Every structure is written in C-alpha cells, then in structure tokens.
C-alpha cells in the first residue's frame, strides 16, 4: 500500500503513480528485499563526543498486548538480516510502538 499526501494535486499524484509503476523494480516493498543493502550506503552509529558522558534513560514499560507484535517484527527483521545485534546494548533507546491507522 502506498499513501499519498492529501496536499498532492491530482496531476502530480497520477504522475507519481505512473513513475513508481514504471520503475517498481527499483523500490523495496518489503524488508526481505532490502537485506542486501551495503553498510557503506547507510549505517546508524551513536556519535558520542569525547569528554562527554552519555545520559542513560531508564527503561519504559511497554503495552503488554503489543509485546508479541514487537517481538515478531524484530525476529522477522533479524531473520532476513535487515538489522543485527550490536555492541551498544547499554545505550539503546526505548522502543516506541505505534499502531498505524489503516487507510480505508
């Protein structure tokens, strides 16, 4: 599913749909299609300046009903190699889970 801004006029929307339809092989539509991306292209790092001590946030509680969904998504991304375990375990950000509204 592709969502367009309501601010996009009809002419631009139809041009954009034509463009992504013509070049659909250039887009990754699911995680498993992105597993071969080079780390030289993009990689997240924690830039910590020398002489500064990072502030560690306390863990936040997560909605227990969302935990199976979060675990499933993480396992799926780990399984296809989209994400990996790293050495910054003490400085992870808290997970912020957002259920996306389905567009009808």
Average the pLDDT over 87-100 and give the result: 69
Q: What is the pLDDT of residue 11?
A: 92
SS3 58: coil
Hey, what's the torsion of the CAs at 83, 87, 93, 94, to 10 degrees?
Answer: 80
**pTM of whole model > 0.85?**
no
Indicate if the alpha-carbon torsion angle 18, 19, 20, 24 is positive or negative.
positive
Q: Counting every residue, how long is the chain?
A: 104
User: pLDDT by residue (tens digit) across 13-68?
Assistant: 899 889 988 988 887 777 677 766 676 777 777 777 888 877 777 777 778 888 89
Tell me the domain boundaries of the chain. Answer: 10-91
Q: Can you read off the two tokens belonging to residue 102?
A: 């389905």
Provide Rg for the chain, Cα atoms.
19
């Amino acid at each position: 599913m592709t969502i367009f801004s309501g601010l996009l006029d009809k002419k631009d929307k139809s041009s954009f749909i034509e463009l992504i339809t013509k070049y659909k092989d250039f887009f990754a539509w699911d995680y498993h299609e992105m597993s071969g991306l080079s780390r030289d292209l993009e990689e997240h790092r924690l830039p910590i300046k020398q002489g500064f001590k990072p502030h560690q946030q306390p863990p936040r509680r997560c909605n227990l009903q969302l935990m199976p969904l979060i675990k499933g998504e993480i396992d799926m991304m780990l399984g296809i190699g989209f994400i990996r375990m790293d050495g910054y375990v003490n400085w992870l950000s808290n997970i912020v889970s957002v259920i996306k509204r389905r567009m009808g």
